Structure 1
């Protein structure tokens, strides 16, 4: 594969979730990255949505950079099929490298690890540590309750509207992914096979 036109860091569950639609979403995200000449940066696991998005990216010609701490190599079943697999000493190093390798960030459905990583890059952006786009893919209303809570935090004056404006929220993967890549100042390659 040629040099990727963009690098998207995806945070998502190491489990598949209860609804098969979550696996389908992860597959769609990976396929979109691969078909548009991109690179996936993710947590390096083979399980759950993590493995699905990685496999779909690889299957459609994309590059995959997995970054996983030694302590999780067995637990999350490190994906040795990645284009690059970095085994690091700590979660802090993992998250730093993921952020350095990414042009933009995207959270899919997931658990506390996904939430923690999403909130960290959002916090880093509000503090000016980076100016990379951050997206939340709210398929089937998965994040509706979280968004109600966040808007309540704004109403209660613990947050401001400008902080909410730092993240892009959409339920449509085909709208959100190009918007994130374009907001990073890049352009996704035309879809492979498209006229």
Structure 2
């Protein structure tokens, strides 16, 4: 299984985030899973990539040319695809991955996981989408998702299709056992 991980290009201001990213990458590798990620050497992205590489697994990076040119590209990956835009990056990552996981991150992380989730809801893919809820990082977002559902803007089955776990073992197990809901408007 190739897991696309979306996460911060920063380490955040709490070392627990970087520690959790490293543990998740180590666990992925121990389970024979490969990584698809944004191709950067910085922040949590670099931590996850280094952990998967150290575990002897494959790591596939996808980075826009403009970010590579700023010397942000991770060296030593299994493969680094350089694309011309963020749109191409997200599309290639989505094609390569079997599942999507958001670790702590900022607006870019939200953009990526919400797009993957939306595509799953619309039936463009049937791959699981998950939040690795490190130390409750996503609790307020999850409350808002419940608000969207309660207000009638998100059907309960689509709110429930998103996996939320705070332990790598439980998260990977849920990814492996995922059953998608029926497509919206099918």
Smaller-chain TM-score bracket: over 0.9
Is 1:88 the equivalent of 2:88? no
Is 1:8 the equivalent of 2:3? yes
TM-score by length of 2: 0.93
**Aligned residue number for residue 130 of structure 1:** 125
Query: Counterparts of 1:95 and 1:57 in 2: how far apart (Å)?
Result: 21
**Aligned residue number for residue 24 of structure 1:** 19
Is 1:34 the equivalent of 2:29? yes
Q: Which runs of 4+ in 1 moved over 2 A?
A: 181-184
Query: Counterparts of 1:73 and 1:22 in 2: how far apart (Å)?
Result: 24
Match of 1:144 among 125, 132, 139: 139
Query: Counterparts of 1:7 and 1:67 in 2: how far apart (Å)?
Result: 14
Please, which runs of 5 or more residues in structure 1 have no aligned partner? Answer: 1-5, 185-195
Pair 182,162 (structure 1): closer, same or farther in 2 beyond 3 Å: closer
**Aligned residue number for residue 191 of structure 1:** none
Query: Counterparts of 1:33 and 1:154 in 2: how far apart (Å)?
Result: 31
Query: Counterparts of 1:100 and 1:85 in 2: how far apart (Å)?
Result: 15
Pairs aligned (count): 179
**Aligned residue number for residue 63 of structure 2:** 68
Please, which runs of 5 or more residues in structure 2 have no aligned partner? Answer: 180-186
Specify the SS of the correspondent of 1:82.
coil
Is 1:181 the equivalent of 2:176? yes
Pair 162,89 (structure 1): closer, same or farther in 2 beyond 3 Å: same
Specify the SS of the correspondent of 2:116.
helix
Query: Counterparts of 1:26 and 1:81 in 2: how far apart (Å)?
Result: 19
**Aligned residue number for residue 157 of structure 2:** 162
Is 1:98 the equivalent of 2:93? yes
Query: Counterparts of 1:120 and 1:76 in 2: how far apart (Å)?
Result: 27
Query: Counterparts of 2:71 and 2:165 in 1: how far apart (Å)?
Result: 28
Match of 2:73 among 55, 58, 78: 78
What CA RMSD, in Å, does the superposition of the two structures yield over aligned residues?
1.2
TM-score by length of 1: 0.88
Deviation at 1:146, TM superposition (A): 0.6
